[in-house]
Amino acid sequence: MTTPSKTIGFIGAGNMAQSIIGGLINQGWCPDRIIATAPSESTRQEVGNRFGIRTSGHNSDACHADIVCVCVKPALVKPVLTHLTPILAETQPLLISVAAGISMSCLESWGDDSLAIVRSMPNTPSLLGFGATGLFANNKVSDRQKAEVESIFNAVGISEWVDEEALIDAVIAVSGSGPAYYFLFMETMKAMGSQLGLAPEVAERLTLQTALGAAKMASEANLDVAELRRRVCSPGGTTEQAVRTFQEGGLDGLVKEAMDAAVQRAKAMAVELGK
């Protein structure tokens, strides 16, 4: 865990910020070492009461922390950081961005190019402590700071570093957007279960528990997922027939096309948001 004496400031106190704050506190981070800012007084009051942390309506107050986590919507990153550039240049925190589509060059330009900066790509299961986060650092981030960043995001799941910034787009396609792929598949399974005669609530419970069990097996078994699939597919059985239908229907190509579309959209967003 990161040194207890470290302070961390969150610019923005929405769902993602709150999930990280909650994870840090659960991992032993002292609430009095955390500050979060938000324009809404009701949000500040809610977050302060929930976590026992300091809150402020002024983003500059968060910039005096050792680590500053920018948790605002992507379209707000530029105005927020450019307004804070002078104080960030003075305080020199480790800056972490959780905004999708905001490139490192933009973060360095808007924040201050002398800063140690990390781009992060967490996903929505972080809200439950089961997140997967991709990380990319500029060349000013030390090994010690990388360990600190890992401890922050490991408090809400797992984290993985990528060596090239372009690979953040691959992270978006795999884990950033990935939960929606599984939701869609579960949605379809639930609907088909109902069409096959199951009560809707029964189809839903069976679908969700099956997805949970499959993910649990895949994460805990010392086996590749392809091997797990083969072990479920008894020769000539029902599962083999269903899986063959997926494969013959072009599932592999469809998944590739979908993930390529996510990557291309991520690249387009970077251009749009970097203007």
pLDDT, average across residues 66-73: 96
Distance CA 37, CA 92 (A): 18
Distance CA 249, CA 243 (A): 10
The pLDDT tens digits for 212-226 are 999 999 999 999 999
pLDDT, average across residues 59-72: 96
Q: How confident is residue 112, by pLDDT bands cut at 50, 70 and 90? A: confident
The pLDDT tens digits for 227-275 are 999 999 999 999 999 999 999 999 999 999 999 999 999 999 889 988 7
Closest to 99 in 3D by CA, of 75, 81, 117, 131: 75
CB 149 within 8 A of CB 135: yes
Look up residue 183 and give its two tokens.
Answer: 């939701």
1, pLDDT greater than 60: no
Q: What per-residue confidence (pLDDT) applies to 39?
A: 94
Q: Which helix (H) or strand (E) holds 274?
A: none
Mean pLDDT of the chain: 94
Give long-range contacts, CB 8 A cutoff, 24+ apart: 183-190: 186/211
Is the dihedral angle over the CA atoms 242, 247, 252, 254 positive or is it negative?
negative
Per residue in 44-66, is it b (16+ CB within 10 Å) or e — as a string?
A: beebbeebebbbbeebbbbbebb
Neighbours of 126 (CB within 10 A): 23
Q: How confident is residue 174, by pLDDT bands cut at 50, 70 and 90? A: very high
pLDDT, average across residues 153-165: 96
CB 70 within 8 A of CB 122: no
Q: How confident is residue 100, by pLDDT bands cut at 50, 70 and 90? A: confident
Neighbours of 176 (CB within 10 A): 22
Neighbours of 188 (CB within 10 A): 11
The pLDDT tens digits for 2-29 are 545 689 999 999 999 999 999 999 988 9
Distance CA 193, CA 202 (A): 9
pLDDT, average across residues 180-191: 97
Q: What per-residue confidence (pLDDT) applies to 135?
A: 98
CB 91 within 8 A of CB 64: yes
Q: What per-residue confidence (pLDDT) applies to 89?
A: 95
pLDDT, average across residues 163-191: 96
**What is the amino acid identity at position 11?**
I
Nearest-10 Cα torsion for 148, 151, 157, 158: 60
pLDDT, average across residues 178-194: 97
